[in-house]
Amino acid sequence: MSHILISGANRGIGAALRTQYLETSASVIGTHRDQPSPGMMHLDVTDPASCAALARNYGDVPLDLLICNAGIYRDKGAALETGYPADDWAASFATNVTGVFLVVQALLPQLRASKGKIAIIGSQMGSTTKAKGDALIYRSSKAAVLNLGLNLATALKPDGVAVGVYHPGWVQTGMGGQTADIAAQDAAAGLRDCFAHLSLATTGCFENWDGRPHAL
């Protein structure tokens, strides 16, 4: 039985991933910022103590797949002249970048025990090929987490832990909006295929939800 943990699994892509994995024989735990509930553990990725508590509560069970999905997008539609307050920069990097690292760091023993995989939900908006001059905070945070993922892939390869970063597509969620290209269920199905093919041979990859490589 595979053991899977998904951060930010209470809505959107995270919820779709959790639902689909639960239909398999995998043991799936989701996290959210609310109180614990069946199959869901409390986690605030911006709080080191919360990340440490998650690892303690998860226990010594080897972790086969960690999906770092929790993220925020505060600066949609922000104006260059009047938007982008410092608090939004701090909150976005705390969730989208530092939060990913803290969760990975807390669960390293469980990941190393299984020679598991880490899948980071990034975005094509973090690619240098997609610099359009808007959403500066979100784009910067996703560029940073892409860099983090590539460095973690190098750092953890000797431990047998593979790391991939994935663009989930423009998805019909609260973040993506209902005019987006694909449904969360379709994005989740594609991402699951990507995660299944992630290995030490492909560690450090940056891929689209449908498995196509994405330019850095």
User: Where residue 189 falls among pLDDT bands split at 50, 70, 90?
Assistant: very high
Written as six digits, the tokens of 87 are 């608090």
* Residue 170 confidence (pLDDT) above 90: no
Q: What's the pTM value of the predicted model, to 2 decimals? A: 0.95
How buried is residue 25: exposed, middle or buried, by Cβ count under 10 Å (0-12/13-18/19+)?
exposed
Measured between alpha carbons, how far is 34 from 133 in angstroms, rounded to an integer? Answer: 35
pLDDT, average across residues 163-183 = 77
Within 8 A by CB and 6+ apart from 72, the residues are 91, 92, 95, 96
- Reduced to 3 states, what is the DSSP secondary structure of residue 17? helix
Q: pLDDT tens-digit profile of 87-99?
A: 999 999 999 999 9
Using the structure block, give the residue that is written with the tokens 């330019």: 215
Q: Where are the alpha helices (DSSP H) in the chain?
A: 12-22, 48-58, 86-93, 99-106, 108-114, 136-156, 184-197
3-state helix vs strand vs coil in the chain, percent to 5 = 45, 15, 40
Share of the chain above pLDDT 70, in %: 96
* Residue 179 confidence (pLDDT) above 80: no
Cβ distance 15 to 5 under 8 Å? no
